[in-house]
A = this chain, B = another copy of it.
C-alpha cells in the first residue's frame, strides 16, 4: 500500500493557474496569490474541478465518470443459425468482471435477441396488453391501467439459455455475461388473469411481443398463477428499450427467451403451442419441455477472473455471483486448489428468490499457481454440477469445448499463474 504527498510548491503552482483562470474567463476579481482563501488553496487546483455538473443534460440525468469504461460487448452465440435476411443474431454480454453487488445497471444489462437488430420504438401512450383466449372476459389494458393495479417489486435475474462456457473464452464477460439482475416492478400476471377469469381448460398461455416475429412462447398456467410479473419498471425507472420498453413479461427462473419483451398479447390456450421461439425446446412430452424451461443452479467467480491480474501475494476477496431458477441460493462454496477441497463462502445479503446472489471468500494467495472455482446449492437442494456431469446429462462427448443443446450451468475454473495473471482454467 502506497502513500501520496503533494508538495507545497505544487499547490502554489496550481493555485496560480486557478487565479489566472478566474481573471481571464469571468472577469471576477482574482484574489492575489497568497491571499487565496484557505479552503481553495488546500482543495487542489481549478484543473481538478471542471464544472461538469453545469450542463442541462447532467443536471437532468447524470452520467458515470469518464474514467469508468466498462462496456457490454457483442457476443455472437455459438451454435445458432447464422444471420438471416430479416435481421441478425444479436447478443450483448454484460461486463461481469467489473460487477459489484447484485443489481446490474440497466445500461449494462445483457441483451439477447434472435429476432434481428430492429428494436420496436413504442409510444407507451398507445401501447396496450390484451389478454384473450380461454378466459371469461378478454381485457385490454393501457399502461395507465396497469399502473393503477396492485404492484409488486422484486429482484430477479434473467439468463440466456446459451450462456455457456468452454475452453476458449478469455473473460467472464464472454463465458457468463449473458445474465443480469435487476429490480423489476409491475403487476402479477395472476392479478390480471383473475380479472379476466380463467376457463377450466386454460392450461397453457402464449405470450407475444411486438417484435417482428412476436417472440411468442408457450408456458404452463401454473407458472402464470405463481410468480409471473408484467413489468413496467426496471431499477426504479421505466423498463429500458433494449429490455422490452414499455412492458416485459418476467418469468422468474425460466430461460431468458420466455421473458417476452414489448409484451402486447397473452393468449390462454389448452395445449402447448409450437412457436418461433421453440427451437431447443422440442420435447415430445409438453411437461418435460416445460421442466426444461427452468435455469439450473449456477455460480461463477467474477473477481479475480480471466484477463485480470493479481498484483502480488496476500489477501484477496474472491467475489462472485450465484443464481438458480429453483429459488433462492442456499449456500456457495469456493475452492482455491482446483476442487480438491471446498470452503464455505460468505453470502453478502439475504438471498432473494431467482435473483443473483453475491458471495465472497477471503483468500491468502501464497504466490503459487492456483485454480479457483465456485459451486452453489439452491433452496430446493439442487447442486451446481461439474462439467463432466453436464456433458453426461446432455449426452455429448466430454471435450475441451463441448457444446450442449441446452443450458450449461457447470462449475467454471479460473487459473492463476505465478505472475498473477488469470486465465480460463479449461484452456
Which chain A residues have a beta carbon within 8 Å of chain B's beta carbons? Answer: 1-4, 22, 26, 28-29, 37, 39-40, 42-44, 46, 48-54, 58-68, 70-74, 85-86, 90, 92, 98-109, 111, 117-126, 128, 130, 139-142, 144-145, 147-154, 183-185, 210-214, 232-233, 235-238, 240-242, 245-246, 276, 303, 311, 314-317, 319, 346, 348-350, 358, 360, 362
Q: Which residue of B lies closest to A245 (CB)?
A: B65
Inter-chain contact A235/B237, CB cutoff 8 Å? no
Closest 7 CB pairs of A and B: A100-B233, A60-B71, A49-B118, A101-B153, A43-B212, A100-B185, A3-B140
Q: Which residue of B lies closest to A104 (CB)?
A: B236
In the complex, besides A68-B245, A99-B236, 8 extra interface pairs with C-beta distance below 8 angstroms are: A1-B145, A3-B140, A28-B85, A52-B241, A65-B240, A68-B238, A105-B236, A151-B348
Given known pairs A100-B153, A212-B49, the reply for A140 and B44 (CB within 8 Å) is no
Inter-chain contact B240/A62, CB cutoff 8 Å? yes
Inter-chain contact A153/B235, CB cutoff 8 Å? no
Inter-chain contact B148/A317, CB cutoff 8 Å? yes
Specify which chain B residues have a CB less than 8 angstroms from the CB of A145 in the assembled complex.
1
Selected A-B contacts with CB under 8 Å, 13 pairs: A39-B213, A40-B212, A43-B213, A51-B117, A51-B118, A53-B117, A60-B72, A65-B240, A68-B245, A105-B106, A147-B303, A149-B315, A151-B319
Q: How far is the CB of A35 from chain B (nearest CB, A)?
A: 13
The complex is assembled from copies of this chain, and their number is 2
Inter-chain contact A103/B235, CB cutoff 8 Å? yes
Most B CB contacts (10 A, CB to CB) among A40, A153, A246, A362 go to: A153
Specify which chain B residues have a CB less than 8 angstroms from the CB of A28 in the assembled complex.
85
Given known pairs A119-B51, A123-B67, the reply for A276 and B183 (CB within 8 Å) is no
Given known pairs A140-B2, A348-B153, the reply for A61 and B316 (CB within 8 Å) is no
Given known pairs A1-B145, A51-B118, A319-B151, the reply for A74 and B59 (CB within 8 Å) is yes
In whole angstroms, how far apart are the Cα atoms of A31 and B86 in the complex?
11
Specify which chain B residues have a CB less than 8 angstroms from the CB of A241 in the assembled complex.
52-53, 62-65
Inter-chain contact A39/B100, CB cutoff 8 Å? no
Q: Which residue of B lies closest to A116 (CB)?
A: B49
Q: How far is the CB of A143 from chain B (nearest CB, A)?
A: 10
Q: Which residue of B lies closest to A187 (CB)?
A: B317
Q: Which residue of B lies closest to A49 (CB)?
A: B118
Given known pairs A62-B109, A214-B39, the reply for A103 and B148 (CB within 8 Å) is no
Given known pairs A61-B72, A214-B43, A242-B53, the reply for A237 and B151 (CB within 8 Å) is no
Inter-chain contact A130/B236, CB cutoff 8 Å? no
Which of B43, B92, B109 meets A59, CB within 8 Å?
B92
Specify which chain B residues have a CB less than 8 angstroms from the CB of A40 in the assembled complex.
86, 212-213
Q: How far is the CB of A30 from chain B (nearest CB, A)?
A: 9
Inter-chain contact B63/A107, CB cutoff 8 Å? yes
Q: How far is the CB of A301 from chain B (nearest CB, A)?
A: 14
Q: How far is the CB of A300 from chain B (nearest CB, A)?
A: 16
